[in-house]
Amino acid sequence: MILSVRDLTVTFRTEEGPVRAIDGVSFDVAEGEILGVVGESGSGKTVSLLAVMGLITDPNATIGGSIRYRGKELVGLPARALRKLRGAEIAMIFQDPMTALTPVYTIGWQIAEQIRAHQKISARAAMDRAEELLAEVNFPNPREALSRYPHQLSGGMRQRAVIAMALSCNPALLVADEPTTALDVTVQAGILDLVRRLRDRHGSAVVFITHDMGVVSELADRVMVMYAGRIVEKGARSELFGDPLHPYTRALMGSIPPLTGTRPRRLPAIPGSPPSLLRLPQGCSFAPRCPVRFEACEARPALPAGARAAACFRVEEVQP
């Protein structure tokens, strides 16, 4: 396992009391696999991966549990040691490429900066490497792109530059936080293709966060569905899409428009909205919106161990 997360909790101190944004999340990422993390906004998918990166800088946040990268515990690791891993072995791509690059430096400078932060090479060699990377992420004219400023590039090109930067030190683990959300559909396809090809070529493991079921069904090897700070279902892609267990996952699937046959006049939506993390229901967090809830849902369902599991009482009932 390249990454093992056990019982991760992230709690924010707020004026209205503590908010548990992540509540006992455990998962593994194997070498070279693409793990899709799905959930609505506020389900905790971004926060959990920011915690893995050590990028939660809010002084009001406390992180509990264990995050192991190749056996090395990251929680409580000194900032300096964490910095050595970050950008070199674990890299991250962010959601909005429009704001993810420093506006006053060229693309080449920013990529070279990351390379030189981790490797002892000359500025010229770093620039040459940056050019190679830009070519690898399909920049039409990489040499020229080196001296471009972020504002001179389109959103898709900026995201490619961010990806080139993330790949600059050949990371073993790449965390992609909704990298296609802010882009056009056509550009999206190109970026997804790029992520897949990079995994194939470099063998990096990828954690891909998204709220787009379509993207996950295309890209991921394994999928993890999050709701209100917990994992509600996990499994291999084919299992999860072929036979969703949790009513929330099923509801998410129902909101994908069918490609064949008659389209419904309105796509089914999940009634209600995600619960406030300040006032989570006592039992199952999804119960208030669940179409199949029953008495047992007053208690909190646990996520059973194993590669394929769902945190729902109905599942046990249906599948003994």
Partner 1 sequence: MIYAILRRLGQMLFVMFGISVLVFLIFFATPGADPAARIAGRNASPEVLEAVRHSFGFDRPLPVQYALMMKKIFITGDLTSFVNRGWKVVPAVLDAIPVTLSLVTGAAILWVVLSILIGLVAAAWRDTWIDRGLMALGLLGISMPVYWLGEVMNLLSQSRYHDTWLFSWVPPLGYKALSDDPKGWFLTLVIPWVTLAILYIGIYGRVLRAALIEAMQEDYIRTARAKGLSESRILLRHALRTSLIAFVTLFGLDFGALVGGSALLTEVVFGLQGIGKLTYDALQSLDLPMIMATVMYASMFVVIANAIVDMVYILLDPRVKTA
Chain residues in the site for partner 1 (CB under 8 A): 53, 55, 57, 79, 83-88, 91-92, 94, 96, 99-105, 113-114, 117-118, 149, 151-152, 162, 165-166
**Choice between 106 and 249, CB closer to partner 1:** 106
Which residue shows structure tokens 């990371």? 171
**Choice between 28 and 113, CB closer to partner 1:** 113
Q: What is d(CA 124, CA 53) in angstroms, rounded to the nearest whole number?
A: 29
Min dist CB 81 to partner 1, Å, is: 11
Min dist CB 78 to partner 1, Å, is: 13
- φ, ψ of residue 127 to 5 degrees: the values are -65, -40
**Choice between 182 and 213, CB closer to partner 1:** 182
CA angle in degrees (0–180, nearest 5) for 189-167-83: 130
Min dist CB 215 to partner 1, Å, is: 21
Distances (CA, A) of 115 to 110, 118, 310: 9, 6, 41
Min dist CB 75 to partner 1, Å, is: 17
**Choice between 97 and 244, CB closer to partner 1:** 97
**Choice between 54 and 235, CB closer to partner 1:** 54
**Choice between 99 and 282, CB closer to partner 1:** 99
The DSSP secondary structure of 256-283, one letter per residue, reads SPPSSSPPPSS----SS-PPPGGG--SS
Min dist CB 1 to partner 1, Å, is: 22
Q: What is d(CA 106, CA 109) in angstroms, rounded to the nearest whole number?
A: 5
Report residue 218 as tokens: 């295309």
Q: What is d(CA 45, CA 50) in angstroms, rounded to the nearest whole number?
A: 9
Min dist CB 2 to partner 1, Å, is: 18
The 17-29 sheet, strands edge to edge? 17-29, 3-14, 61-69, 72-73
**Cβ-proximal residues to 250 (8 Å cutoff; 6+ apart), any chain:** 244
Among the listed residues 33, 43, 36, 57, the one whose alpha carbon sits nearest the alpha carbon of residue 179: 36
Q: What is d(CA 20, CA 8) in angstroms, rounded to the nearest whole number?
A: 11
**Choice between 168 and 249, CB closer to partner 1:** 168
Q: What is d(CA 250, CA 232) in angstroms, rounded to the nearest whole number?
A: 12
**Choice between 94 and 286, CB closer to partner 1:** 94
Min dist CB 91 to partner 1, Å, is: 7
Min dist CB 245 to partner 1, Å, is: 34
